[in-house]
A = this chain, B = another copy of it.
Amino acid sequence: MSIETVVAPLAGRQARPEGTIVRVGGVEIGGPAVVVFAGPCAVEDQAQILSAARAVKAAGARVLRGGAYKPRTSPYTFPGLKADGLRLLALAREDTGLPVVTEVMDARHLEQVMASADILQVGSRNMQNFTLLDEVGTCRMPVLLKRGMSATLEEFLLAAEHVMKGGNRQVILCERGIRTFEPSTRNTLDLNAVPMLKRHTHLPVIVDPSHGTGLAWMVPAMALAAVAAGADGLLIEVHGHPSRALSDGSQALTFEAFGSTMAAISAVAAAIGRSIA
């Protein structure tokens, strides 16, 4: 079995050959323009999230990302600010007007998360948490579904099918790196996934070069590569002071680096006949 033969009547390309556009707060994801989602890995405090939200907006990002509930491999690392983090995200949204994407880890948090979010993120570790997929499938809010770290593309598409079968057709797929034998990067960003997914599904496909490399200095090159490969958007971690970040600081861009990356993204998008949203 492979994505070539997958049975996905809702997510499969044939269901909507013209492609799905997900609309959030005036932004169109899956349309001709490339959409940049940016912000810190985790919400840490009010000053941090507000400054980051303003900086990424000024540089051209159209969606603010930020984690309030954080899945953590070890129970002894920072788990996110939870409800307080959600409150700060809502504040940053109000301040900047940027729609917010944030992760939901538990169906019981859905109401709370939806009050602060405009897009619900289902993380890599939950790509096959089928009860969570079913729950977000009943929501009327777009879902950003991240690929599991060793999920095949067929499994990824079928995870989207789970969400859509519940009635929610607003799904955005996100490639974020897979697990291989290479130790020098956190993950191996799989850009083959972009054209392959675009061929087999009508859903928008975005790329997260921050998790896909784990190294801030590699993010700009891989962001450009993702756009050139045909990605409909990018998810980029940005932090005012990466070295002081409570999680994943090594992969966060500074405001300055994010600004210059946006300019480069814009040039590559133009080269392939697209623009930045």
Mark A residues whose CB is within 8 Å of B: 1-4, 7, 71-76, 105-108, 125-126, 128-132, 149-150, 152-155, 158, 161-162, 165, 178-185, 188-192, 194-196, 199, 212-213, 217-218, 221-222, 224-230, 264, 267-268, 270-272
A85 vs B131: C-alpha distance in the bound complex, in angstroms? 18
**Contact assessment for B72 and A130 in the assembled complex, using a CB-CB cutoff below 8 Å:** yes
Task: Report whether A224 and B272 are in contact in the complex, using a CB–CB cutoff of 8 Å.
Answer: yes
- 10 more contacts with CB within 8 A, not counting A73-B158, A221-B229, are A4-B184, A108-B131, A126-B129, A152-B183, A188-B190, A192-B212, A192-B213, A195-B217, A199-B217, A221-B228
Binding site secondary structure of chain A: helix
CA distance A41 to B145 in the complex (A): 28
Chain B residue, CB-CB nearest to A223: B228
Q: Are B180 and A195 in contact (CB under 8 A)?
A: no
Oligomeric state, in copies: 4
Q: With the chains together, A48 CA to B194 CA distance in Å?
A: 33
Whole-angstrom distance between the alpha carbons of A217 and B199 in the complex?
10
Of the candidates A105, A132, A165, A183, the one having the most CB atoms from chain B within 10 angstroms of its own CB is A183
Given A228-B225, A264-B272, CB of A188 within 8 Å of CB of B183: no
Give 28 CB contacts A-B under 8 Å: A72-B130, A73-B128, A74-B161, A75-B158, A75-B162, A152-B183, A152-B184, A178-B180, A178-B182, A178-B188, A179-B181, A180-B180, A180-B188, A182-B192, A183-B183, A185-B192, A188-B190, A189-B191, A191-B191, A192-B213, A192-B218, A194-B221, A195-B222, A221-B229, A224-B228, A225-B225, A225-B229, A264-B272
Q: Which residues on the B side are within 8 Å of A74 (C-beta)? A: 7, 158, 161
Q: Is the CB of A221 within 8 A of B225?
A: no
A76 contacts which chain B residues (CB < 8 A)? Answer: 7
Q: How far is the CA of A267 from the CA of B217 in the complex (A)?
A: 24
For A73, give its contact among B132, B153, B155 (CB under 8 Å).
B155
Say how far A232's CB is from chain B's closest CB, in angstroms. 13
* Distance in angstroms between the alpha carbons of A155 and B150 in the assembled complex: 14
Q: How far is the CA of A71 from the CA of B126 in the complex (A)?
A: 12
Q: Which residues of B have CB within 8 Å of A272?
A: 224, 264, 267-268
Q: Tell me whether A152 and B129 are in contact (CB under 8 A).
A: no
